[in-house]
Amino acid sequence: MQEEPTDPYSRAMNLLKDMESVLSELLDSLKEKTSIETPNVVVTMNDIKEDPDSNVPGRYDPSSETILLNYRADLSNAMHLYSHHIQLVRLGATKYIYISSEEGLRLPWVMRRLEREADHMSTLLIGQLNPRVKIQWESDWRAIAKSLDRIKAMIEFKRKWNVNYDELRGSRSQ
Ligand SMILES: [Zn+2]
């Protein structure tokens, strides 16, 4: 077995890649039912949102067919973005990009047809998952997310401490 790296950078990168594998495997398990090739997945620690009005902490990029997902996302968020990939495959890239940019430009998130449909499809997809696979996925995903939370908290603590330390020195020299 490979030795665990100790620096937070390598640890975070490894954990994010683990999450990507866990998510790809889950999507692969749906391939039989959807007959759709699994899209690329990138898991990030950055705060992202599909739209300011959306509660999905991620984005689907149609040009690279990539799901970009925050590590704190849940199963329904992941399935929502996977639904966008299914829409792209079904409609064809040109039509999907056209409709999503048209709707994105003119309508609020709650009114976009592609979004409504993705929410609905996401519920259906969750129902299609093998219950054992689903439970296993949720526990694996959460466990890795917790490790990332700890790294993030540690980094934030260190940063805050350094800032306070500098402020303290600044106030002393005045
Ligand atoms: Zn969406």
- Cα 85 to ligand 1 centroid, rounded to whole Å: 10
Q: Residue 166 Cα, ligand 1 centroid: separation in angstroms?
A: 43
pLDDT tens, residue by residue, 10-26 = 999 999 999 999 999 99
Is pLDDT of 39 > 50? Answer: yes
**Tens digit of each residue's pLDDT (9 = 90 or more) over 152-162:** 999 888 888 87
What is the CA(49)–ligand 1 centre distance, in A? 10
State the pairing for strand pair 58-61/40-44: unpaired
Q: Calculate how far, in angstroms, residue 35's C-alpha sits from the geometric centre of ligand 1.
A: 21
Q: Is 40 or 163 the better-scoring residue by pLDDT?
A: 40
pLDDT above 90 covers a percentage of the chain that reads 82
User: What is this structure's pTM?
Assistant: 0.89
Say how far apart CA 37 and CA 131 lie, in whole Å: 22
Express each pLDDT in 81-116 by its tens digit.
999 999 999 999 999 999 999 999 999 999 999 999
For 92-130, where are the alpha helices, taking DSSP H only? 93-106, 113-128
Q: How confident is the model at residue 174 (pLDDT cuts 50, 70, 90)?
A: very low
Read off the pLDDT band of 124 (50, 70, 90): very high
Distance from residue 92's CA to the centre of ligand 1 (Å): 17
Distance 28 CA to ligand 1 centre (A): 20
pLDDT of 1 over the 80 cut? no
Q: How far is the CA of 42 from the centre of ligand 1 (A)?
A: 16
Q: Containing H/E element for 171?
A: helix 131-173
- Pair of tokens at residue 102: 């048209």
Ligand 1 centre from 172 Cα, in Å? 52
